[in-house]
Amino acid sequence: MAHVVKFKMHSLQAFISVATLLAMSFASAAALAHTNDYLDTQKAPHGGQLRMAGVYHFELVVAKDSKGATNNPVMVYVTDHAGAKIQTAGTSGTVTILSGTERTTANLAPDGDNRLKGSAKYTSAPDLK
């Protein structure tokens, strides 16, 4: 009987080892799936650009039709990896916008469930970052 218990214990340890290795490989794949290159292939809910920081996804939305450098809105939507809204009440932030040699900064304040909003003087251009 002791031999059977030892066999079961060995099988359990092997199972735990295999399960741990599988979990680590899936976790590694999930972490790699959220690179900027991967996020650039995803359709953002509000038509913006997705980026990740820690456990959060940020979607930057800027005006796409501003012909001249005018004061335009800047919005950032915050979600988790699963796309669930993260409340922004009590938070703040800044966004630096680059277009060619022009650089401007927008201060962000909470504006709704998971949105931060601000404004900055910029032109909608293909090289906007």
- Averaged over 53-78, what is the pLDDT? 90
User: If pLDDT is split at 50, 70 and 90, which confidence band does 7 have?
Assistant: very low
DSSP 6-35: HHHHHHHHHHHHHHHHHHHHHHHHHHHTTS
Q: What is the pLDDT of residue 77?
A: 96
Position with higher pLDDT, 13 vs 53: 53
Q: What is the pLDDT of residue 16?
A: 52
Q: Is the pLDDT of residue 125 over 50?
A: yes
- Is the pTM higher than 0.75? The answer reads no
| Cβ 9 vs Cβ 17: under 8 Å | no
| Cβ 117 vs Cβ 60: under 8 Å | no
Long-range contacts of 48-54 (CB under 8 A, 24+ apart): 48/75, 48/77, 52/81
- Averaged over 85-109, what is the pLDDT? 91
User: If pLDDT is split at 50, 70 and 90, which confidence band does 78 have?
Assistant: very high
